[in-house]
Structure 1
Amino acid sequence: MKLLSVAIPCYNSESYMRHCIDSLLPGGEEVEILIVNDGSTKDNTAAVADEYESRYPNICRAIHQENGGHGEAVNAGLRNATGIYFKVVDSDDWVDYSAYMEILNTLRDFVIGEKTLDMLISNFVYEKQGVKRKKVMNYRTALPKNELFDWDDVKVFILGQYILMHSVIYRTELLKQCGLELPKHTFYVDNIFVYQPLPHVKTMYYLDVNFYRYFIGREDQSVNEQVMIGRIDQQINVTKLMLGYYDVMKIKQRKLRRYTVRYLEIMMTISSILAIKSGSEENLEKKKELWQHLRKQNLKLFLRLRWGFMGQGVNLPGKGGMKFPIAIYQMTQKFFGFN
């Protein structure tokens, strides 16, 4: 059995996937690198995957499937994972060597020891193209460092500071037991990957190291703002799925409940702001329908989100009302360096 399985979803990724895979190879045979070729047709992604499996048969595995989208590539990785822990690294991203070694040492200590670790959290860096000073997302104000902790020990997450797929390594069996399966042909499912398992997470550990390097800059990236607006239906669909996985208002652990409510608040806000920024009456109607969907599904959560600061901000009337959430979004965008 491997210590860590890393799934790399690849779709026409030939021009950059080698950098990603090479950054993970120093983990040696304790690590299983699952290179998932998600039906690539425009380049030699499949051949590159096979090449790495041939060169590193005890580390790399090539998995070929019909195109199912990012989520289905993650699903394939999880289905094939034999590691005790599971991580997703997108094919245009990479990991830092020294932080990687600390990550593996920490995971190894828990496997050898008597205590079970459900989720390891580390920092990630926005590797934004053309920007010299890279923004680091850390969790120093929110999480205890270098110790096993539970939800009661979590401190305060500030605005814009939340756990992303880049931050987490889950215990593989936990993901399988909670029935995680991401939807096919849908973008933005990384939010589901992080969110759905959270009520099953009992123990966490935060390593304050800049492990994951998150590349931003290609015009065709799913996180490009114009691309996100064009795919607003998928953003809204993911938000609706997240609203339906469980009733966050019934979660007994106060800090877990607070965090999951905040996560849904962020998802509702992003969907709403994308609709507003599009300037499309059709998309504004979709925003209205999303809030109505929430009201019908969970009135208590609707009241909490609709009359919170963000909910009021994205639902102000008239053209003047639309300027306020866009201004807040642009300030946050500039500060955190996303998109």
Structure 2
Amino acid sequence: MKILTVVIPCYNSAAYMDRAIDSLLIGSEDLEILIINDGSNDDTSKIAKEYEQKYPNIIRAIDKENGGHGDAINTGLKNSTGKYFKVLDSDDWFDKGSLEKILTILKNMINTSKCVDMLIANYVYENANINKSTIINYKWAMPKDKIFTWDELGHLKSSENILMHSVIYRTEVLKECNIELPKHTFYVDNIFVYKPLPYVKTMYYTDVNLYRYFIGREDQSVNEKIMIGRIDQQIRVTKIIIDSHNPMILTCKKLRKYMIKYLVMMMTISTVLLLKDGTEESLNKKEELWNYLSTKNKALYQQVNKSFLGLSMQAKTLLGRRIILLGYSASRKMFGFN
């Protein structure tokens, strides 16, 4: 069994996938790299197979019909042989030194039969437009270099959500929660990182900057204009998250608090984008989304709406809209996203 499977979903990625793949080539056969060609019509498949031929003990190239980012991850999970599982998008990359450290940590855990359910590392926003790197770390919220539980989790700031970029799951945890990401849908990384959380009992945080998250390309799915154009998919993912769990029944207070915090983030993103669009149709979609949450889980709705953001979003006045849009603009400038 491999220690770590890294899945690289690729769709028409020929122009930049080399950087992602090369960042994993650290000379370790403890690593399994699955390049999933999601029905590309460029040279993605050819490049993947060339890597497979060159590194047959490490790399597998898998061709499939186009099903979107989530379906490529589903395929990777079904073909994974690693004890742990990580996703690397084809336009991003890993820091090699950090990857070596993490592999050593995971290998030691396996050798001592102390495997954790989730390992967390830092990630770095690499913004091409403004030539800025911003590190997102968890060193003030999580115990470093030790196994811990949700009860030991400290305060996570608004910028410190556990995202797909920062998380490595034990593969069996993903299978235990029966995760199946929807086809032809963007932003499913939120489902990937959220749905397994109640199945996570033990965690480990290491303060290394592993994942380099490249943003700033005009055609990127997190480009603000593209996100507004795909708002129905963002709403769909948010509703799937609402339906996936009822955090209010969780006995662990800190896990419950964090899952509510994550839902607040999802509601924030959808609401801000709908407000920025500002059309009557978008404002109606905002009302419908909040009504959906209220109808599905009244207690959870009340918890989400307790936050300042929730109250501002619910406000139907021009002032309420301005408050939330100003808050979004400040966060965007501070962290360099979109």
Q: TM-score, normalised by structure 1?
A: 0.98
Residue 211 (structure 1) aligns with: 210
Residue 88 (structure 2) aligns with: 89
Alignment-mate amino acid for residue 100 of structure 1: L
Question: Does the alignment pair 1:201 with 2:200?
Answer: yes
CA distance in 2, matches of 1:304, 1:5: 37
Residue 9 (structure 1) aligns with: 9
**Secondary structure of 1:32's aligned partner:** strand
CA distance in 1, matches of 2:63, 2:17: 15
1:257-272 matched pairs, under 5 angstroms: 257-272=256-271
CA distance in 2, matches of 1:10, 1:27: 23
Residue 279 (structure 1) shift: 1.4
The superposition leaves residues 197-223 of structure 1 with CA deviations (integer Å, 9 ceiling, x where unpaired) of: 000001100010001000001111110
CA distance in 1, matches of 2:90, 2:316: 42
Alignment-mate amino acid for residue 68 of structure 1: G
**Secondary structure of 2:26's aligned partner:** helix
| Count of equivalent residues | 338
The superposition leaves residues 253-292 of structure 1 with CA deviations (integer Å, 9 ceiling, x where unpaired) of: 0000000000001101111111000111111101100111
Residue 234 (structure 1) shift: 0.4
Residue 318 (structure 2) aligns with: 319
Alignment-mate amino acid for residue 57 of structure 1: P
Residue 116 (structure 1) shift: 2.2
Residue 191 (structure 2) aligns with: 192
The superposition leaves residues 31-59 of structure 1 with CA deviations (integer Å, 9 ceiling, x where unpaired) of: 11000000001x10010111111111111
Residue 149 (structure 2) aligns with: 150
The superposition leaves residues 132-159 of structure 1 with CA deviations (integer Å, 9 ceiling, x where unpaired) of: 4410000011111000000011000012
CA distance in 2, matches of 1:225, 1:130: 13
Aligned residues of 1:27 and 1:101 also touching (Cα < 8 A):
no
Alignment-mate amino acid for residue 268 of structure 2: T
Alignment-mate amino acid for residue 163 of structure 1: I
Residue 318 (structure 1) shift: 2.7
CA distance in 1, matches of 2:306, 2:143: 31
CA distance in 1, matches of 2:126, 2:196: 27
Structure 2 stretches lacking a partner, 5+ long: none
Residue 275 (structure 2) aligns with: 276
Alignment-mate amino acid for residue 98 of structure 1: G
Residue 228 (structure 1) aligns with: 227
Residue 177 (structure 2) aligns with: 178
What percent identity do the matched residue pairs reach? 55
CA distance in 1, matches of 2:216, 2:268: 23
CA distance in 1, matches of 2:240, 2:45: 32
Divergent runs of 4+, >6 A: none
Q: TM-score, normalised by structure 2?
A: 0.98
CA distance in 2, matches of 1:27, 1:181: 32
**Secondary structure of 1:338's aligned partner:** coil
CA distance in 1, matches of 2:64, 2:259: 33
Residue 27 (structure 1) shift: 4.8
CA distance in 1, matches of 2:131, 2:246: 42
Question: Does the alignment pair 1:32 with 2:28?
Answer: no
Residue 103 (structure 2) aligns with: 104
CA distance in 1, matches of 2:216, 2:56: 33
CA distance in 2, matches of 1:267, 1:322: 17
**Secondary structure of 1:290's aligned partner:** helix
Residue 321 (structure 1) shift: 2.3
Structure 1 stretches lacking a partner, 5+ long: none
The superposition leaves residues 106-129 of structure 1 with CA deviations (integer Å, 9 ceiling, x where unpaired) of: 000101012221100000000110
Alignment-mate amino acid for residue 31 of structure 2: V
Alignment-mate amino acid for residue 84 of structure 1: K
Mean CA deviation greater in 20-29 or 259-268: 20-29
**Secondary structure of 1:134's aligned partner:** strand
Aligned residues of 1:124 and 1:212 also touching (Cα < 8 A):
yes
1:239-254 matched pairs, under 5 angstroms: 239-254=238-253
Residue 160 (structure 1) aligns with: 159
